[in-house]
A = this chain, B = another copy of it.
Amino acid sequence: MNVQKLTPEAKASALAELKDWSLVDGRDAIKRTLVFKDFNAAFGFMTRVAIHADKHDHHPEWFNVYNRVEVTLATHDCQGLSIRDVTLAKFIDEIYSQ
């Protein structure tokens, strides 16, 4: 599917909205670290994100150790940030806040 890089203006606006995310050094990507009660909670979160991600064919890069999950979002097709990353970040924020 065709997907375009966010314009600088759209990126600034998205980052202002995604307060818990930050830009990755040297890459057009965003990241967030999430901490859970334990591994069960962390992997439960990952499973919810995985199902959502595969359904929308847009997947995170992520690292997990015990109760910590580090998520990086970028769009392979446009080699940078797209609206898909913003949508996935908002989904992640929403289920993390529950």
Contacts and interface: CB of A to CB of B under 8 A. Distances in A.
Interface of A: 39-40, 43, 46-47, 50, 53-54, 59-66
Contacts of A47: 43, 47
A35 to B, nearest CB: 15
17 contacts: A39-B50, A39-B54, A39-B59, A40-B54, A43-B47, A43-B50, A43-B54, A59-B65, A59-B66, A60-B65, A61-B63, A61-B64, A61-B65, A62-B63, A62-B64, A62-B65, A63-B63
Nearest to A61: B65
A46 B39 CA distance: 13
A54 B66 CA distance: 9
Contacts of A46: 46
Given A43-B54, A47-B47, 17 more contacts: A39-B50, A39-B53, A39-B54, A39-B59, A40-B54, A43-B47, A43-B50, A46-B46, A59-B65, A59-B66, A60-B65, A61-B63, A61-B64, A61-B65, A62-B64, A62-B65, A63-B63
